[in-house]
Amino acid sequence: MTFATDTIRVLHVDDDPDLGELVALSLEREDDRLSVATATSPDDAIDVLGAQDIDCVVSDYDMPETDGIEFLETVRADFPDLPFILYTGKGSEEVASEAISAGVTDYLQKEGGTSQYAVLANRITNAVEQYRSTRALEASQKRLSLFFEQSPLGVVEWTEEFEFARLNEAAEEILGYDESELLGEPVEKIVSDSDQETVETVVDALLEGTAGTTASTRTSERTANGSSVSGTIAS
């Protein structure tokens, strides 16, 4: 049992209410992070998804009126990336194949005994952690993109080989180049002669370094008209 504080909100969908409650209680015993709500039909589950913040859906396959695959397709229409685990007693290669095609996150067949709940809890936490990491990365990239586009400072994005990849409008104005004129050019193109050796040393250190290596140096940069401006080259 774990004692982490980051709650993982799970929605378990099964037309058997007694089994639904058993699974919910068992999952919460396995991992204190799990908080499990239950629904006895896909329609009820859709209402819950609309009213609550859910991190993962765990659904049975064999349900009246709407099976687990059809329910998955409905969920994917509004929640394309939400972790969805098909947890079913009616397992087959055909069902698994349909689930994968419909965008299921994971597939687990029900078994006897209580050990299955530890497996299911682990599948849920792994899926949610990956989902949250992906969303955090996307949010970070969005913030960086907004900074790049809206910053009054001149900002240049480099490739891994320290060639020009992007310039924001402020950088174009400061350097006197259109972005298209610098794309693919090495960083040394805008570095003054007096700073070439220093910049080459920093770039070489970064290119030879391991992941996470950082460095920066103040430089005098040469604009398109030959004048100099002060800048920082960093990674």
Q: What's the domain range around 87?
A: 8-142
Residue pair 89/63 in contact (Cβ under 8 Å)? The answer is: no
Most confident by average pLDDT, 63-72, 117-126, 174-183: 117-126
1 pLDDT higher than 50: no
pLDDT tens across 4-50, in order? 448 999 999 999 999 999 999 999 999 999 999 999 999 999 999 99
Angstrom distance (rounded) from CA 72 to CA 66: 10
- One domain, residues 177 and 220: yes
- One domain, residues 103 and 217: no
- What pLDDT, on the 0 to 100 scale, is given for residue 4? 44
- One domain, residues 127 and 155: no
- One domain, residues 187 and 116: no
77 pLDDT higher than 70: yes
CA dist 176 → 66, 168, 171, 192, 217 (Å): 62, 12, 8, 15, 22
1 inside domain: no
| Inter-residue long-range contacts of 199-208, CB under 8 Å, 24+ positions, other chains counted | 199/233, 202/233, 203/162, 206/162, 206/235, 207/160, 207/161, 207/162
Task: Give the domain CATH number at 77.
Answer: 3.40.50.2300
Q: How confident is the model at residue 93 (pLDDT cuts 50, 70, 90)?
A: confident
- One domain, residues 167 and 220: yes
- One domain, residues 219 and 201: yes
- One domain, residues 21 and 100: yes
Q: How many domains does the chain have?
A: 2
- What pLDDT, on the 0 to 100 scale, is given for residue 2? 44
- One domain, residues 173 and 119: no
Q: Which of 107, 142, 177 is the last residue of a domain?
A: 142
pLDDT tens across 102-132, in order? 999 999 998 888 899 999 999 999 999 999 9
213 inside domain: yes
- Percent pLDDT > 90 in the chain is 50
Task: Give the domain CATH number at 216.
Answer: 3.30.450.20
